[in-house]
Amino acid sequence: MNGTRGLLIATAAAFIVGCSVGLMGGMLFMHFGPGMHGGPGGRFGSSGRFERRGCGLNLTHETLDVMMRHSGRLIDPGMSQEAWLLRYTDKFSYIFHDVNDIFVRMRRPMQSELKNLVNLFGENQRERTTTVISGLVIESAECKRVSFELSELGRMFSKLRDLMYEIYPHVTRQNVAECMEKIYDFLTMLSIGDPYLLLALMTDKDALLIANSVMSDQDLFNQTALCEISPHLEEIGKVDLCDPCLDW
């Protein structure tokens, strides 16, 4: 989700439902800050210890946990309320933005079922976002925990999300496998560490720089943010990429 928009939505919802606004704001700042990787497997899992010349980012267990579980398959019924909240507000932010982007900017025709469902939440992105936040607050108060799956509005939003996921493959095509293979081969060629670890440590900007390059050499690597922390790989030692190690 867009950093500023996502920050506003998540922190506003956190304030209303009684979650930690500071934790939500801190997590989103680290998630979208300059040079930061956008994925849960990026520079703030076990690899976060490499930042600041190997001193780490001094992030709390709670911050790391929210960042790891806010999206994807790492959901845990016992995870913090902030993690649950961010899972929902993340979708609020990008789903309604994508509706505008795809059907207004890109001018893709909108199916009647999708159009009717979108308009149930409001006439524009602001109204729609306000509607789902209000629905989440009401359902969470009734359930005494962060929730937006049991109410009729929550189920409608889940249906909208599913319909949008069906649309995405028809409006953009990203050859992720080809890009990742090129990056992996380059990191393997450098022979400075585990290529999978190096890939996890890369920022999105780093990855795009390498994927879009015509010639990949040491000079190219020297332009990446990864180059700054690579000297500390040996002193840190082996890192188990399958263990997030949130207690380090």
> For position 49, what pLDDT does the model report?
53
Model confidence band, residue 209 (pLDDT cutoffs 50, 70, 90) = very high
**Axis crossing angle, helix 61-69 with helix 81-100, rounded to the nearest 10:** 40
The average pLDDT across 1-19 equals: 82
> For position 89, what pLDDT does the model report?
93
Encode pLDDT of 178-200 as tens digits: 889 999 999 999 998 889 888 88
Ramachandran class of 18: left when φ > 0, alpha when ψ lies in -120 to 50, beta otherwise: left
More confident residue, 245 or 173: 173
Encode pLDDT of 87-142 as tens digits: 999 899 999 999 999 999 999 999 999 999 999 999 999 999 999 999 999 999 99
User: Using CA atoms, how far apart are residues 146 and 133, in angstroms rounded to an integer?
Assistant: 11
Kindly report the pTM of this predicted structure: 0.74
> For position 102, what pLDDT does the model report?
96
pLDDT surpassing 80 at residue 173: no
pLDDT surpassing 90 at residue 41: no
With beta carbons less than 8 A apart as the criterion, state whether 45 and 72 touch: no
Reduce the secondary structure of the chain to three states and give it as a string: CCHHHHHHHHHHHHHHHCCCHHHHHHHHHHHHCCCCCCCCCCCCCHHHHHCCCCCCCCCCHHHHHHHHHCCCCCCCCCCCHHHHHHHHHHHHHHHHHHHHHHHHHCCCCCCHHHHHHHHCCCCCHHHHHHHHHHHHHHHHHHHCCCCCCCCHHHHHHHHHHHHHHHHHHHHCCCCHHHHHHHHHHHHHHHCCCCHHHHHHHCCHHHHHHHHCCCCCCHHHHCCCCHHHHHHHHHHHCCCCCCCCCCCC
Encode pLDDT of 136-165 as tens digits: 999 999 999 999 999 999 999 999 999 999
**Axis crossing angle, helix 61-69 with helix 21-32, rounded to the nearest 10:** 60
More confident residue, 128 or 52: 128
User: Using CA atoms, how far apart are residues 99 and 124, in angstroms rounded to an integer?
Assistant: 10
pLDDT surpassing 60 at residue 22: yes
Model confidence band, residue 245 (pLDDT cutoffs 50, 70, 90) = low
Share of the chain above pLDDT 90, in %: 48
The alpha carbon of 49 is separated from its chain's Cα centroid by a whole number of angstroms, namely 20
| C-alpha dihedral, 23 to 26 to 32 to 36, nearest 10° | -110
User: Using CA atoms, how far apart are residues 63 and 246, in angstroms rounded to an integer?
Assistant: 9
